[in-house]
Structure 1
Amino acid sequence: MGKKVTGGIFAGLLGAGIYAAYQRLDESNKKHLKQEIKNRADDLKDRAVDYAFYAEDAINDAREILSEQMKQSSQRAKTTMDSFKNAQSFDDSDNFDSDDPIDIVVDPEAVFDEDDDFEATATVLIYPDGTVTAF
């Protein structure tokens, strides 16, 4: 608490000294001092307004950038979903009837050259239920 009292006394004495010095000035110097203080206060107000406008511009720019990024991300997500949907639409499982067997036929003569040494075996047909038919 001692520091607060000492600080208060110092501030009071400083203010009293400034007031006494002001009162000792002649009228032209008082007028000049008032004008100087008014000019500095106006400059300070102008700077504060300028910085407020700078801050507002920066916020608006950040909003525009964020909005553009969100639009681009949304468009990328939509494009990805559309390509995924298109890939799913080409799936033949839509036309698949579970009662029909899936025919997988491999002709060894079409796969291997005549120069290869192999013996032809029977053709095998495998059904989805697991049954096998050999020809």
Structure 2
Amino acid sequence: MIDMGFVMAGHAIFTVGNDKGNHYTFRVSCPKNNPDLHFIGLLTGPDNGADYTYMGILLPDGAVRLTKASKYTGDSTPVRVASWACKVILGKAALPAGYSIQHAGRCGRCGRLLTTPESIERGIGPECWDIMHGGAAVEAPKVEELIGF
């Protein structure tokens, strides 16, 4: 499963789905001049790269802070789903059977397509992983080690 490092990396897209087939796709981005500020939006149109409606500011604890520009209320389903998903990602809530939280197959930091098993697992590409960890190569467990071949 993805972690908050992925979500807050600056270019994250993830989808939350339930056992009824409903899903919400969220994008979390940050401006280049303020990497500590994270905007969250909901995919509301057919263009997966551009049709996101602003929801608010995503805080590190997973809460969505609404602003004057927010298009949703605090009790709207997308805001509640985003906050709940972040609680699951942070380990503060359980993911029920039939529910999923998945990244979109692109690096959460730069948006490039993920192609190695390690980068797909963590949602962050190898170059961005090194940058995010102070330039030191921090390796994830090898897939072979996890599945025994």
Calculate the TM-score normalised by the size of structure 1: 0.15
Higher RCO (CA 8 Å, separation ≥ 6 residues): 2
More strand by share: 2
More helix by share: 1
